A and B are shown apart, each in its own frame.
Chain A
Amino acid sequence: GAGVSQTPSNKVTEKGKYVELRCDPISGHTALYWYRQSLGQGPEFLIYFQGTGAADDSGLPNDRFFAVRPEGSVSTLKIQRTERGDSAVYLCASSLTSGESDEQFFGPGTRLTVL
């Protein structure tokens, strides 16, 4: 079956602009996660959803970052007033549920470049 998909694959924007990154999880997966990977680093947790609600958003760096999952499937990560330091690969993952035993399956990521 289809894996996790993310669009766009690449996004180039100018400092101060607003961007939206989309994630389509595996069908039937109730948990969805966002991570950010800076160059030469491992992914860092941003937020995870169980169903429609954000169960843990402790990894969001500041209030310019926001994510939604209105129908419990597709999720959108929104970044306002982008800064050059926001440049990174944004990875999305989904799992059947949100328990520790449930394997997370990762999408290919969106590479965001802020000029």
Chain B
Amino acid sequence: KQEVTQIPAALSVPEGENLVLNCSFTDSAIYNLQWFRQDPGKGLTSLLLIQSSQREQTSGRLNASLDKSSGRSTLYIAASQPGDSATYLCAVTGYSSASKIIFGSGTRLSIRP
């Protein structure tokens, strides 16, 4: 059974710092991995999607990497801003569980002005 773990559960850093959020998954037979952002009372916004054949994806100040063999992904946020404060969720779609997305518990990020 696929399990997704995110560390740390919460993180608070001053504005301007670069930071890394970590995600690990137990079954490497994944179709893709996504990073989502969730603001309080809002739905999920997809930030980056990495196909299993890819190693990384970049969008603006965000960079996500994928090491499928070791079951790990990182989300790198450069030059953090208070507007980046949100919960970040890592999620995988597996070949054996087509169409289900398996989510981690998230990292609650707070950027201090």
Kindly specify which of B57-65, B67-75, B97-105 makes contact with the partner chain: B97-105
Partner of B32 from A93, A100, A108, A109 at Cβ < 8 Å = A100
Answer yes or no: B43 CB below 8 A from chain A CBs.
yes
Does chain A have a CB within 8 A of B21?
A: no
User: In this assembly, does A85 line the interface, its C-beta being within 8 Å of a C-beta of chain B?
Assistant: no
Q: Which among B98, B102, B106 is the interface contact of A100 at CB below 8 angstroms?
A: B98
Q: Is the CB of A44 within 8 A of B32?
A: no
Whether A100 contacts B93 by the Cβ 8 Å rule is yes
Tell me if A55 is interfacial: C-beta within 8 Å of chain B.
yes
- Residues B18-74 near A (CB distance < 8 A): 31-32, 36, 41-46, 49
Do residues B99 and A48 form an inter-chain contact, with CB atoms below 8 A?
Answer: yes
Chain B interface residue count, Cβ-Cβ cutoff 8 angstroms: 24
Chain B, interface SS category: strand
Q: Which of B46, B93, B103 contacts A43 (CB 8 A)?
A: B103
Are B95 and A100 in touch, CB under 8 angstroms? yes
Q: Does B43 contact A45, Cβ atoms closer than 8 Å?
A: no
Interface bits A49-61 vs B (CB < 8 Å: 1, else 0): 0000001100100
A41 interface residue, CB < 8 Å from B?
yes
Point out the residues of chain A lying under 8 angstroms from B100, CB to CB. Answer: 45, 48, 56, 59
Question: Which residue of B is nearest A58, CB measured?
Answer: B100
Distance in Å from the Cβ of B75 to the closest Cβ of chain A?
Answer: 14
Q: Which residues of A contact B (CB under 8 A)?
A: 4, 31, 33, 35, 40-45, 48, 55-56, 59, 91, 93, 98-101, 103-109, 111
5 closest Cβ pairs, A-B complex:
A42-B103, A100-B31, A106-B44, A106-B43, A108-B43
**Residues on B facing A (Cβ under 8 Å):** 4, 31-32, 36, 41-46, 49, 89, 91, 93, 95, 98-106
Given A42-B106, A106-B43, A111-B41, 17 additional A-B pairs, CB 8 A: A4-B43, A40-B105, A41-B106, A42-B4, A42-B105, A43-B101, A45-B102, A100-B31, A100-B32, A100-B95, A100-B98, A100-B99, A101-B31, A104-B101, A105-B46, A106-B36, A109-B43
